[in-house]
């Protein structure tokens, strides 16, 4: 099958292309495709915001469109809320419209952030039941969740009225060694795994935002890609469905995750001394407009029922495999 990965030069896209490029005819379209240079597939550099006609022609040419174009980093939601909105909603909506126009199946990447913040009460968010719950307008962090949520609604409306065939994916904290970048080398503010890894590699103290009581469920990228492959291979069962992809058994507080990453590094003799840990406020770390999500855990019964998928990598192994290439 001819598969177009829009925004495919990022962490998830590269991992999809690596796994599927010997089975399918894959094309990655992204701002920069350098990080995908070792993957044996077609690569096109371009900016969807500036060259939509190119994207339109590609949509015509390919059978399956996987749309990963997004800013998926909380620091950017706060610093660049307008760009976050236009990238995650306006540009993506054009892609949705053209998939409907040319009758191409769309796999739309969304986010677990659409569920919002349910405090500590969350015991497993269910795709078609859980009510979304985001924060006040001045908390700009929510612009991303709201852009993605509205996009999901439009995708479903296009399915009903324009016969679009789709699958929506809500990823829950995928991790692997090439997830982001080290802030001490490249600057900026990546997601938490890369910050903690950077500190363990010797860049300075670990910073625990608001004490690290907030919880996430970390999913090893290999498990996640297995699920995505099942979605591609089972168009009947995945047709017009929304799937959480995550590892509920790997729920951890951010503080426990920092401790576990340090313990792994000590056990493996990668380091002799652990980095110090400081507590910082969310406002100091991310800036005004940041809001946190206390607990985030997926219900994955639907993926198990319709696709026969369950993740198998434990939290310890997820972190170990993701850290290993940086030390060995
Ligand atoms: C982010 C994105 O916003 C989601 O869209 C995406 O689905 C998700 O990552 C993901 O990776 O799947 P979040 O989990 O809040 O959401 O992002 P992180 O930057 O990884 O932060 C996780 C937690 O660690 C937050 O509570 C944050 O405050 C904390 N943190 C972050 C620290 O304690 N220290 C740091 O150095 C960085």
Closest by CA position to 219, among listed 260, 262, 251, 189: 251
Which atom number of ligand 1 is nearest to the Cα of residue 214?
A: 26
Distance 236 CA to ligand 1 centre (A): 34
Residue nearest to atom 37 of ligand 1 (CA): 192
Give 10-residue mean pLDDT values along the chain (328 residues): 98 98 97 95 96 97 98 95 97 98 98 95 92 95 98 98 98 96 95 98 97 98 98 98 98 98 98 97 96 97 98 98 97
Residues flanking ligand 1, CB < 6 Å: 72, 74, 111-113, 171, 173-174, 191-192, 195, 207-209, 212, 214, 216, 254, 282, 292-293
If one residue of 182, 209, 279, 296 were mutated to test the ligand 1 pocket, choosing by the most ligand atoms within 8 A of its CB, it would be: 209
Structural contact between residues 321 and 177, judged by C-beta atoms closer than 8 angstroms: yes
- Tokens 């789709």 correspond to 166
Structural contact between residues 19 and 8, judged by C-beta atoms closer than 8 angstroms: no
Which pLDDT score, from 0 to 100, does residue 123 have? Answer: 83
Residue 220 in contact with residue 247, Cβ under 8 Å?
yes
* Cα of 57 from ligand 1 centre, angstroms: 35
CA dihedral 70, 174, 186, 143 (to 10 degrees): 40
Report how far residue 25's alpha carbon sits from residue 280's, in angstroms, rounded to the nearest whole number.
Answer: 47
User: What's the 246 CA to ligand 1 centre distance in angstroms?
Assistant: 15
The residue whose two tokens read 């990546």 is 190
Q: What pLDDT is attached to residue 103?
A: 98
* Bridge-based pairing state of the strands 251-253 and 215-217: antiparallel
Write down the mean pLDDT value for the chain.
97
* Atom of ligand 1 at shortest range from CA of 292: 26
How is 192-244 classified by DSSP, letter by letter? Answer: HHHHHHHIIIIIS-EEEEGGG--EEE-EEHHHHHHHHHHHHH-HHHHTTEEEE
Can you tell me whether residue 170 is helix, strand or coil? strand
- Kindly list the catalytic residues: 144
Please name the residue whose Cα sits nearest to atom 14 of ligand 1. Answer: 173
Return d(Cα 176, Cα 97) in angstroms, integer.
32
Residue 181 CA to ligand 1 center (angstroms) comes to 14
* pLDDT for res 189: 95
**What gap in Å lies between CA 156 and CA 149, rounded to an integer?**
11
User: What was the pLDDT predicted at 122?
Assistant: 79
Using alpha carbons, select from 225, 173, 178 the residue that is nearest to residue 197.
178
pTM above 0.85, yes or no: yes
Which residues does 148 contact at the CB level (< 8 Å), separation at least 6? 70, 88, 89, 110, 111, 113, 114
Ligand 1, residue 216: give the atom nearest the CA. 14
Task: Please tell me the distance between residue 215's alpha carbon and the centre of ligand 1 in angstroms.
Answer: 10
**Mutate which of 11, 68, 74 for ligand 1 pocket (most atoms within 8 A of beta carbon):** 74
Atom of ligand 1 nearest to the CA of 196: 36
* pLDDT, position 260: 98
Position 204 scores a pLDDT of 94
Residue pair 159/166 in contact (Cβ under 8 Å)? The answer is yes
CA of 257 to the centre of ligand 1 (A): 12
Task: Please say whether the dihedral angle defined by the alpha carbons of residues 310, 114, 147 and 243, taken in this order, is positive or negative.
Answer: positive
Name the nearest CA neighbour of 150 among 105, 98, 110, 99: 110
Report how far residue 184's alpha carbon sits from residue 66's, in angstroms, rounded to the nearest whole number.
32
Q: Identify the pLDDT of residue 121.
A: 85
User: What local confidence, expressed as pLDDT, does residue 80 receive?
Assistant: 97
Rg of the chain over all Cα atoms, to the nearest angstrom: 19
Closest ligand 1 atom, residue 191 Cα: 19
């Amino acid at each position: 099958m001819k598969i177009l990965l829009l925004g495919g030069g990022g962490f998830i896209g590269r991992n999809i292309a690596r796994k599927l490029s010997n089975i399918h005819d894959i094309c990655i379209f992204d701002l920069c495709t350098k990080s995908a240079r070792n993957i044996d597939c077609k690569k096109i550099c371009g900016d969807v915001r500036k060259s939509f006609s190119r994207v339109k022609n590609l949509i015509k040419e390919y059978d399956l469109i996987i749309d990963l174009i997004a800013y998926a980093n909380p620091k950017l939601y706060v610093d660049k809320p307008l760009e976050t909105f236009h990238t995650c909603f306006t540009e993506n909506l054009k892609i949705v419209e053209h998939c409907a126009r040319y009758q191409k199946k769309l796999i739309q990447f969304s986010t677990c952030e659409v569920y919002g913040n349910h405090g500590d009460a969350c015991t497993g968010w269910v795709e078609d039941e859980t009510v979304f719950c985001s924060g006040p307008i001045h908390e700009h962090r929510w612009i991303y969740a709201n852009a993605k949520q509205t996009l999901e609604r439009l995708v479903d409306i296009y399915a009903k009225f324009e016969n679009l065939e789709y699958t929506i994916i809500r990823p829950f904290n995928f991790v692997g060694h090439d997830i982001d970048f080290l802030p001490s080398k490249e600057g900026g503010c990546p997601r938490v795994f890369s910050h903690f890894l950077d500190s363990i590699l010797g860049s300075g103290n670990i910073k625990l935002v608001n004490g690290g009581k907030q919880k996430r469920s970390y999913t090893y990228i290999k498990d996640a890609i297995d699920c995505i492959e099942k979605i591609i291979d089972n168009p009947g069962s995945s047709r017009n469905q929304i799937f959480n992809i995550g590892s509920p058994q790997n729920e951890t507080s951010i503080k426990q995750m920092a401790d576990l990453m340090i313990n792994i590094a000590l056990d493996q003799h990668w380091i002799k001394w652990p980095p110090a840990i400081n507590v910082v406020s969310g406002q100091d770390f991310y800036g005004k407009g940041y809001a946190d999500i206390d607990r985030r855990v997926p219900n994955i019964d639907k993926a198990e029922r319709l696709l026969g998928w369950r993740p198998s990598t434990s939290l310890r192994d997820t972190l170990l495999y993701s850290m290993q290439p940086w030390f060995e």
